[in-house]
Structure formats: structure tokens, C-alpha cells
Amino acid sequence: MTTTATSPDTSGPGRRQIEIYDATLRDGMQGLGLSLTAQEKVRVAHELDRLGVAIIEAGFPASNPKERELFELLSHETFETSEIAAFGMTRRRGVAAKDDASLLALVEAFAPIATIVGKTWGLHLEKVVKVDRSENLEIIGDSVAFLVAEGKRVVYDAEHFFDAFRDDPEYTLQCLTVAADAGAETLSLCDTNGSSLPFQVAEATAAVVAALGSRVRVAAHCHNDLECGVANSIAAVQAGATQVQGTMNGIGERTGNANIVSVIGGLELGLGLQALPEGRLARLTSAAHAVDELLNRIPQPSQPYVGKNAFAHKGGLHIAAVRTDASTFEHVDPAAVGNERELVISELAGRATVLEKADEAGLDLADGDAERILDRVKELEHEGFAYEAADASFELLIRRETDQYTSLLTLESWRVIVERRADGVLSTEATIKLSIDGETVFRTAEGNGPVNALDSALRAAITELHPHLAAIELVGYKVRILDVEKGTGSVTRVLLDASDGHETWGSIGVSTNVIDASWQALVDSLAYAVQPGREHGRTAALATGTRTAPHGGGA
């Protein structure tokens, strides 16, 4: 019987609480190639609210028409757990706070929280804004005091804080003290350049907490330029910070911000702190993927906690151990973050993997079947097959090796003709000859390429006898050249993803001819759908929280 991995106790009263401040909609949008409409940003906000994020930084209401539209839309929305923060900056030099357009936009915004960024680093005062240190302190104090007087709760973002602290800790603490004296609720320590290491973040944060932590909330806002965004955020919390700022999936300018998804996992499951309301941690995976989908990004399979590979096991010994006690190779229970365990089929797999897949499919194996199937897998992977990405083809392999396979068709021949005319017009025609249930069937179809034409002809032939197969669509098509040194004579691997609208499965074909490899994968993708026992396999997978990789698209 499989047991689950153990984690620190994260239930019950008395857990230290860490406030999560999400900056996806503002700081995250500075990542190259990322864009959302105002309506899409509202959808992201609701995903964050369902996850249980405390504060959502929606953006800069004075920056452009789309941001103004967003704040208008958000003003009519209702959120269960999240509050909205509007972002701006301290007043301009020589302009009174009450006359500064940026501050007035924050006052006019419905958002109860105003986050303003200000200077703390002497280098920027001298080289960028050309303001002396005493005047900068006045700017910070005036800006915070004005917003507080207007009824706003103020977060002061100390830009380049950690660089400034290493350069001149005394002045840097002066900047924060002025903000606190003016009424700031939170002081956010920003690693704007992402230049700090965890020990530096911990040292500086501890100094701020010692000086001001009894009066204000101390927050960490880290970037990932040194691949330390998450580690730095956790180091700040260990040093006394009680708020962490970051973005979903670590998006943002340059190499991104601290990945708030991994921060939450580390705080809740690593340190036993409370970062989300009770019961919300299990939404972490779905929220991370939903935000990626809205941004038209493919969820990263190797992302900690929420990636589809985060709890994937490929080695035979690892799989056997996980089946006995999951904590042997899993640092947390995948269900705790809404993810699933994957037992990956490959030449490294052991007998346990074959048994697991057979059990999911409801197949009975006799003595020696698992070993024989494993030997066959190793032979085929030597030829170029890769079953870790073709769960349907692997199940069909088990069925064929154990005489539990329901045949869909027998191929007699196929032919594809591709013609390009002088006027540039391309035409493709495929003809297939099959034996289906003892009858010989001919079909011809046109397509926008040889694979599409073959697919159309195949479907025309089999849907008369199996009409339910008409609902199956190809949702992914990937071609890989396995031995590139052979040029156009190389072995080609084709991976297809098919879906019936409820479930997605992968199939594979390997050949020196890309069309032949595609045909193999096409047939497997449809043959899988007519096998008996598939409902049993799905039910078993849902009951155990275990599935076989992959069940997603792969175009």
C-alpha cells in the first residue's frame, strides 16, 4: 500500500502568519512578451482571490487607459480574501504632494492600499534623480503623510533597498524611519536588481525588524537575477519579515520576480507557517496553471510544487520505493498543493511501473508478464520510442503483449500523393486500404498535408463502424529527429496528443519516414479509444491520485 510523504504540521491555531502580496498584474507584466487585457487581468485577480492571496497589486492607475479601465472594472468586483493595492511613486521634486498627479491618482482610485516606490540608494540620488539626501527624506515623508491623511493604507517600497543597505545602512534606515513616522503601514525591502544573496537579505532584514518591526510590517520584494528570489524571500521571513511580495510563476522583468508559488509552498510546507487561508494550499497548482494559460504560456513542467514533473518518478528503484512509502522520494504530498504523482514509463522503469500502469487500465497480468513487457519496452526505446510521453501507446503495448488488445483495423496499404503546381498551389491526397472486422475498406481523402490527409481518410473509414471516434480530435503534434547526423535519412519520432473533450492521451510512432511514424501514432491514438476497461483505469487513477505521464498537449 502506498503511503504519502510527511510534511511539517500546517494545521491548527497559533501558526505564524505571513501576508502574501501578489504583484503579477503590475511588476509581472514587465516581463518581455507578456500582456493581458483589462478583462483578463480581472480574471487573474479572481484566481488570486480564490487561492487566498491577501493583497493584489493591480497596477498604476495613472499610467495608461488600460490601467484606468482595469481599476474601473475592479471597483465593481467582489473579492473574498484579497484587497486591491494601487501602485505609484513618491511626489516629484519641487511639487507639493497635494498637487502631484501620481499621488492624486492613488487617492482617486477605489483601492484601499496605496503602494509607492521611493529612492533609498545614494547612487540613484546622485546619478538618476539628482536629489540630495535630505530632500529625498522630505519627499518620502510628504508623500506617505499625504496618502495617509487621505485615508489610504500605505506600503512604502524602498527601491534598491539591499544595494543601498550595503552601501550606507545608516541612511537607508533613515529613509524607512521617515516613512514609518509618516504613517506607512508596511515597509517593503526591495532587491530591485536581484543582486543579493540569502545571507545578505537576512542580515539587512533583521536590522530593519530590530529597528522598526514593532511599529510596521516588514516585507520582502525580491527579484531573481541570481536565481535566489525564492530563497531570499524565505530568508527574509526567517529574519522577521511578515509579508512577501512576488509574482505567479516568477514572471517579471529580466529574469523575473520571486516566484510566489514556490514561496508559498516553502513557507507552508517547509516552515509550517500560514501564508494562505486554511484549505487554500490545495489550489496552488490550478491557480499557477490558470495564470499561465491566461498569459498564453505553457506551464513549465519542471516548476517546483506545481509542474507536472514535480512529482514524476522515472527510475525503477525510485518507483518501487514510492509505491511502498512516497516520502522516500517526495519531499511533500503532491495532493497538498493540488498536484499529482506521475510514474513515468521509460527504459529506466522497473516492474513496479508496469504493474502500476496495468492496474490503472484494469488489466490482469500473469507471472512473468511484467518482465517480458519491460524487456520489450527496452527494445523499442533502443529503436527510438519514448513511452514517458505516450501513455496510450504504452497501455496498448501491454494489451498486445498479454493478448488483451481489441484490434481496430489491419492495414493493407496506404499511399500519399503530394503535388505542387507551377502556380504555387499544393494538393495532397491519401488513399488507404484497410481490413476492418473482416471487411476490406478503401478510402481517399484530401488534406492540407500528408498527415492531415491520412488522418481524414482513416477517420472516414473507421467512424462508420465506430461513430463515437468522430469526437476525438488531435490537439498536439510533435516531430523529433533522433539521429540528426544522418540528415534526411534520420529516424523520426512523432508524438501525438488526442482528446475526446474530457481526457487527453499521448501516442507515438517511430520510423525513418515521418509519414509512416505519423500513421503509427494516428492509429494508436484511435485504437486506444476502443479498448475495454478504460473507464476502470480512469476511476482508479482518480481514486489514487496517481496518473501516468503525460496527459497534456505537446505540439
Cα three-residue angle 456-458-459, rounded to 5 degrees: 65
Alpha carbon distances (Å) from 121 to 125, 169, 190: 7, 10, 11
Is there a contact between 302 and 59 (Cβ–Cβ < 8 Å)?
no
Assess whether 443 and 531 both reside in one domain.
no
Output the CA angle 227-243-100, nearest 5 degrees: 100
User: Could you tell me if 509 and 441 lie in one domain?
Assistant: no
Domain co-membership, 79 together with 194:
yes
Q: Which of 461, 476, 497 is the last residue of a domain?
A: 461
Residues 344/375, Cβ–Cβ less than 8 Å: no
Please check whether residue 230 lies inside any domain of the structure.
yes
Confidence label for 360 from pLDDT (cuts 50, 70 and 90): confident
- Looking at the domain assignment, is residue 303 inside a domain? no
In a shared domain, residues 160 and 31: yes
Residue 445 CA neighbour count, 13 Å, CB half? 20
Q: 135 lies in a domain? A: yes
Q: What does the angle CA 378 – CA 382 – CA 388 come to, to the nearest 5 degrees?
A: 65
- Asked whether residue 301 is domain-assigned, the answer is no
Q: Which of 267, 294, 321 is the last residue of a domain?
A: 294
CA dist 187 and 158 (Å) reads 7
16, 170, 233 from 218: Cα distances, Å: 14, 17, 12
Each residue's pLDDT tens digit, 400-458:
999 999 988 889 999 999 999 899 899 999 999 998 888 899 999 999 899 999 999 99
Beta-ladder partners of 493:
480, 510
- Contact of 512 with 490, CB cutoff 8 Å: yes
Q: Which of 242-251, 272-281, 491-500 comes out lowest in average pLDDT?
A: 491-500
Task: Dump strand ranges (E) for 306-449.
Answer: 312-313, 341-343, 410-420, 426-436, 439-447
End-to-end CA distance of the chain: 36
Q: Do 401 and 413 reside in the same domain of the chain?
A: no
Give residue for cell 500513421: 519
Same domain, 178 and 236: yes
H-type helices in 402-513, by residue range?
450-462
Task: Specify whether the CB–CB gap between 518 and 489 falls below 8 A.
Answer: no
The pLDDT value recorded for residue 539 is 34
Residue 517 to residue 512: CA distance in whole angstroms = 8
What pLDDT is attached to residue 279?
92
Angle between helices 38-51 and 65-74 (to 10 degrees): 40
More confident residue, 510 or 309: 510
Helices within 189-330 (DSSP H only): 198-212, 229-238, 260-265, 284-294, 316-324
pLDDT of residue 17: 94
- The model's pLDDT over 277-317, given as tens digits with 9 standing for 90+, comes to 999 999 999 899 889 878 878 788 889 999 887 777 776 67
Positions of E strands within 424-472: 426-436, 439-447
The pLDDT of residue 259: 97
Q: What distance in Å separates the CA atoms of residue 522 and residue 69, rounded to the nearest whole number?
A: 47
Residue 243: inside a domain: yes
Within a 13 Å sphere around the CA of 54, how many CA atoms are in the beta-carbon half?
18
158 contacts: CB under 8 Å, gap ≥ 6: 118, 120, 164, 172, 175, 176, 179, 187, 188, 189, 190
pLDDT at residue number 236: 98
The CB-side HSE value for 436 (13 A sphere, CA atoms) comes to 18
Asked if residue 138 has pLDDT above 60, the reply is yes
Domain co-membership, 555 together with 448? no
Strand ranges (E), 126-207: 153-159, 186-191
At 12-29, the pLDDT tens digits run 456 789 999 999 999 999
| pLDDT reading at 541 higher than 50 | no
- In sign, the C-alpha dihedral spanning 435, 438, 444, 445 is negative
The answer to whether residue 317 is domain-embedded is no
CATH code of the domain in which 455 resides: 3.30.160
CATH code, domain with 542:
3.30.160.340
Give domain status of residue 10, yes or no: no
**CATH number for the domain including 287?**
3.20.20.70
Give the pLDDT of residue 346. Answer: 62
Neighbours of 299 (CB within 10 A): 17
Q: Residue ranges of the alpha helices (H) in 28-132?
A: 38-51, 65-74, 101-108, 122-124
Q: What is the pLDDT of residue 547?
A: 33
Lowest mean pLDDT among 41-55, 77-91, 192-206, 461-475: 461-475
What is the domain range of residue 413? Answer: 409-461
Residue % of the chain over a pLDDT of 90: 53
Mean pLDDT over each residue of the chain, to the nearest integer: 86
Pick the last residue of a domain from 461, 483, 502.
461
Q: Which amino acid is at 218?
A: V
Buried b (16+ CB within 10 A) or exposed e, 472-481: bebebbbebe
155 shares a domain with 101? yes
3-state secondary structure 53-80: CCEEEEECCCCCHHHHHHHHHHCCCCCC
Distance from C-alpha of 395 to C-alpha of 400, rounded to nearest angstrom: 9
pLDDT value at residue 1: 35
User: Residue 80 falls within a domain, yes or no?
Assistant: yes
Q: Which residues pair with 20 in a beta bridge?
A: 244
Q: Are 477 and 490 contained in the same domain?
A: yes
The answer on pLDDT for 481 being more than 60 is yes
Residues 250 and 226 in one domain: yes
The number of distinct structural domains making up the chain is 3
* 204: pLDDT strictly greater than 80: yes
> Can you list the positions of beta strands (E) in 231-356?
243-246, 312-313, 341-343
Q: Are 528 and 507 in contact (CB under 8 A)?
A: yes
Q: Are residues 447 and 472 in the same domain?
A: no
List, in sequence order, every residue forming a beta bridge with 416; answer none if it has no partner.
430
pLDDT digits (tens, 9 = 90+) for 69-94: 999 999 999 999 999 999 999 999 98
Contact 443, 460 (CB under 8 A): yes
Residue type at 362 in one-letter notation: G
pLDDT at 538: 35
Q: Are strands 410-420 and 504-511 parallel, antiparallel or unpaired?
A: unpaired
Q: For the residues 114-128, what does the mean pLDDT come to?
A: 87
Query: Rounded CA gap, 205 and 334, in Å?
Result: 32
User: Among 427, 355, 342, which Cα is nearest to 398's?
Assistant: 355
pLDDT confidence tier of residue 488, bands split at 50, 70 and 90: low
| One domain, residues 456 and 553 | no
